[in-house]
A and B are shown apart, each in its own frame.
Chain A
Amino acid sequence: MEQAPPAAAPPWHEIVRAALARNDFRLVTYVPDNVLRPLIDGLAADPFFTVFATTREEEAVGITAGAWMGGLRGAVLMQTSGFATLPNVLASLAVPFQIPIVMLVSERGTLGEFNLGQALVARTMRPVLDALAIEHHTCTRLDELDFIVDRTLRQAVATQASATLILSPLLTGGKVFKP
């Protein structure tokens, strides 16, 4: 008897979307990024989610904080340069008020970055997260992704603590320079 070929693993963005749905994270706000595009498109096409863009990342954090206090879980999508605008709102709203803000950050500035500005901004992200004692994981492998995302969402809710998932170019392919 012929063995059936193994089912293709779902792409990273479908794994993230499934984990958000499983954990009832219905609200997704974002400032867009090319790497995040398939995730944003998939979420927007799924009626389970309420998905919209904000004008700034800190605005998205404020909306998500209000929604969480009102009983609706949410996640914020951004790229590394967007994260660099957030230390004030994280230090004065998310952390002291114990409001879990889950941030999914497409990692620019490394592994083939072509924009020096992006490369320098990216260096500020992990030190800021460490200074604020915000849990963060860098997602590099498809086979670990569901475990990391699912457990991070659960922990954020259970401990009322913010968390950041950094989506590495090793996972997403990143954005590459096309001369």
Chain B
Amino acid sequence: MTEPTAPTLANTKTMYRADITRRLVALLDREEAVIGGIGNTNFDLWAAGQRRQNFYMLGSMGLACPIALGVAIAQPHRHVVALEGDGSLLMQLGALATIAARAPRNLTIVVMDNRAYQITGAQPTATAFAADLVEAARGLGLTRSHWAADEADFERLVQAARHEGGPSLIGVRLDHQPPAGQTERDPAQIRDRFMRGIGTRPPYPT
């Protein structure tokens, strides 16, 4: 096999996942739900501040988008964001076709594309060779799919997705810096806190 040669993408800066995640979280001022896919995507969501409206997967690779779709269908007045890595999304591309068919206005997908299975030793994914996940998403029916050119463009795309209605997909090209933290692995507590954060269980008394 030849060395990976990623397709040249005009005007897309290589960014830092922890910074992008913090910028995303800082824009969420309406108790938006965020579903963190597995791996370093998840860890950086945790490190960006533990909001009660965050759900952290601990397995079920590839299911951040389907879980987010379920929340979006159940709560059409709450915006829902799925954070998914390139390896995870490649495993469950059909989920994008289902989301395009249902067309929930309140769903945004952020693809954290570092072109590698970073957490297992940075083996290259298909996006390190020829695959373009934004083009794939468009082909599956998600017409509001864009690469973020830089950090400011990412923030603009997030605001457009929240205010103009989706579903939307934002691709972010990333460097290989390690995650800024590590998620606590207590699934029942993660689920319970999330449900209280999105109003399906009464909040804990303070």
Q: Using CB atoms and an 8 Å cutoff, list the residues of chain A in contact with chain B.
A: 27, 50, 52-56, 58-72, 74, 88-89, 91-93, 96-99
Within 8 A of A (CB), among B30-77: 33, 35, 55, 57-63, 65-75
Q: Which of A56, A71, A74, A97 makes the CB contact (< 8 A) with B191? A: A97
Contact A93 B63, beta carbon cutoff 8 Å: yes
B103 CB to nearest A CB, Å: 11
Nearest neighbor of B185 in chain A, beta-carbon distance: A96
A71 contacts across to B, CB distance below 8 A: 74-75, 199-200
A36 CB to nearest B CB, Å: 18
Q: Is the interface of B mostly helix, strand, loop or mixed?
A: helix
CA gap between A61 and B62 in the complex, in Å: 12
Contact A52 B101, beta carbon cutoff 8 Å: yes
B102 contacts across to A, CB distance below 8 A: 52
Q: Using CB atoms and an 8 Å cutoff, list the residues of chain B in contact with chain A.
A: 33, 35, 55, 57-63, 65-75, 78, 92, 94-95, 97-98, 101-102, 187-188, 190-191, 194-195, 198-200
Nearest neighbor of B189 in chain A, beta-carbon distance: A97
A69 contacts across to B, CB distance below 8 A: 55, 67, 70-71, 74, 191, 194-195, 198, 200
Q: Show 14 residue pairs from A and B whose CB-CB distance is below 8 angstroms, ordered by the A residue.
A: A59-B66, A61-B66, A62-B65, A62-B67, A62-B95, A63-B69, A66-B69, A66-B73, A68-B70, A70-B71, A70-B73, A93-B59, A97-B188, A98-B188
A64 contacts across to B, CB distance below 8 A: 70
Nearest neighbor of B92 in chain A, beta-carbon distance: A59
Contact A58 B194, beta carbon cutoff 8 Å: no
CA gap between A68 and B192 in the complex, in Å: 12
CA gap between A54 and B62 in the complex, in Å: 14
Contact A88 B60, beta carbon cutoff 8 Å: yes
Nearest neighbor of B74 in chain A, beta-carbon distance: A70
Contact A72 B194, beta carbon cutoff 8 Å: no
CA gap between A28 and B83 in the complex, in Å: 25
